[in-house]
Amino acid sequence: MSVFIGILLIVVSIIMIGSVLLQSSERAGLGAVSGAAETFFGKNKAKGMEAKLALVTKISATVFVVLSVLMMFVG
């Protein structure tokens, strides 16, 4: 069982790494913290591929955490 969960954990982590790397970076950097950039709520929400990548990242991160906790109890 722990081998199966370990393989799933590796696959989910590769998916999460890929989805994070495919997302476009925010060019504001630390300027957004100090208020130098536009406000977060004033920007348009990501559409299309960016929204799908964000969703894949959120889902894979959740599955990664659940599998990690499950691996702790099983392994």
Gyration radius of the chain over CA positions: 17
Q: Is residue 10 part of a domain?
A: yes
**Overall domain count for the chain:** 1
Confidence of residue 42 (pLDDT cuts 50, 70, 90): very low
Q: What is the pLDDT of residue 43?
A: 54
Give residue 25's pLDDT band: very low, low, confident or very high (50, 70, 90).
confident
Q: Which residues of 5-14 are buried (b: 16+ CB within 10 A; e: fewer)?
A: beeebeebbe
Query: Which range marks the domain in which residue 17 is found?
Result: 2-24+34-74
Q: Does residue 7 form part of some domain?
A: yes
Following DSSP, what letter does each residue of 26-47 receive, concatenated? PTTTTHHHHT-S--TTTSPPP-
Whole-number pLDDT of residue 28: 57
Residue 29 lies in a domain: no
Query: Mean pLDDT, to the nearest integer, of 9-15?
Result: 97
User: Could you tell me if residue 63 is inside a domain?
Assistant: yes
